[in-house]
Amino acid sequence: MSKYENSSGIDDIDGPQETGNPAILPFSEVIRFHGHYCAGVTLGYCASKIALQELRAGRDVDEQLIAIVENDACGIDAIQAVTGCTLGKGNLIFRDHGKHVYTFINRVTGDAVRISLKDRETDDTQKALQARVREGTASPEEREALKRLQQEKMDRMLVDPPEDYFNVKRVKVEIPEKARLFGSVKCSKCGEMVAESRARVQNGDFVCIPCFDEYTRGW
Ligand SMILES: [Zn+2]
Ligand SMILES: [Zn+2]
């Protein structure tokens, strides 16, 4: 049996856990959170499962885990739902590289794992259908056929061993510091409060980023 098929053997990480049973969130919950069933959310779900297994961790409670994600597509919602690394908590770090690469760090053990999507061949039928849909020349039947193909692929992805889809590598990374709290200052233009860490100074007064007139010399 693949080590990914059973999620019950995962060790708990330090810190409060609601149940002591860090089972993987059911996929149906992830779809509910994301809103629709798509390839991206399926990929994100599989990557999250690998991460929790590899890092021997349950869903994050208070920044024990960190996710560094290199795209901002559908899969990120699965990662937030399953691993508990969220933008709001500050342990989801977004790097705008447009790559299906995810690095997860366990702050408690210092372990880190880099999960990258393998380059998989798309079959010619699907390629041709995708091209016609992109060009807007596909018939309704062809659109349906493509949808069916994609659906089959997603369904398969959920039962196949995740390592068929991802490269998984242990890495050494510098552990980012925990999210900090900052005081606020009042923007002298709009009057709204802004975190000190994001405030700008203009003519000696604090301003928020939207009110700040960018100064540029064009280079
Ligand atoms: Zn989606
Ligand atoms: Zn302002």
Tell me which residue range forms the domain holding 194.
181-219
Q: Are residues 159 and 194 in the same domain?
A: no
- For residue 6, the model assigns a pLDDT of 38
Answer yes or no: is pLDDT of 133 > 50: yes
Average confidence (pLDDT) over 177-186? 89
Q: How much distance in Å is there from the Cα of 203 to the middle of ligand 1? A: 45
Range list of H helices, 95-138 = 124-135
- Ligand 2 mean position to 201 CA, how many Å? 11
What is the average pLDDT score of the chain? Answer: 87
C-alpha torsion 25→11→3→168, nearest 10: 80
Binning pLDDT at 50, 70 and 90, where does residue 123 land? confident
Structural domain total, the chain: 2
| Structure confidence at residue 217 as a pLDDT band (50, 70, 90) | confident
Residues 109 and 200 in one domain: no
Spacing, Cα 196 to ligand 1 middle (Å): 35
Q: Is residue 157 part of a domain?
A: yes
Asked if the model's pLDDT at residue 3 lies above 50, the reply is no
Question: Residue 209 class from Cβ within 10 Å (0-12 exposed, 13-18 middle, 19+ buried)?
Answer: exposed
Mean pLDDT of 2-15: 38
pLDDT band of 22, cuts 50, 70, 90: low
pTM of the predicted model over 0.85: no
Are 132 and 198 found together in one domain? Answer: no
pLDDT value at position 85?
97
Task: For residue 192, give the CATH number of its domain.
Answer: 3.30.60.20
Check whether residue 138 and residue 159 sit in a common domain.
yes
Of all ligands present, the nearest one to the C-alpha of 43 is 1
Q: Are residues 157 and 215 in the same domain?
A: no
Q: How far is the CA of 193 from the centre of ligand 2 (A)?
A: 8
Does residue 176 form part of some domain? no
Instruction: Look at residue 134 and tell me whether its pLDDT is greater than 50.
Output: yes
- β-strand pairing of 101-106 with 65-69: antiparallel
Query: What is the per-residue pLDDT across 152-171, written as a single tens digit (0 to 9) for each?
Result: 988 999 999 988 999 999 99
Domain annotation covers residue 20: no
> Looking at per-residue confidence, does 217 or 62 come out higher?
62
Residues found in the chain: 219
Q: Which ligand is nearest to the CA of 34?
A: 1
Ligand nearest to the CA of 212: 2
pLDDT digits (tens, 9 = 90+) for 107-118: 999 999 999 999
Per-residue pLDDT tens digits for 43-74: 999 999 999 999 999 999 989 999 999 999 99
Residue 13 confidence (pLDDT): 36
Closest listed residue to residue 113, CA positions, set 166, 54, 175:
54
Q: Residue 74 CA: which ligand is closest?
A: 1
Pair (136, 202) in one structural domain: no
Closest ligand by atom to 154 CA: 1
* 166 and 195 fall within a common domain: no
What local confidence, expressed as pLDDT, does residue 145 receive? 93
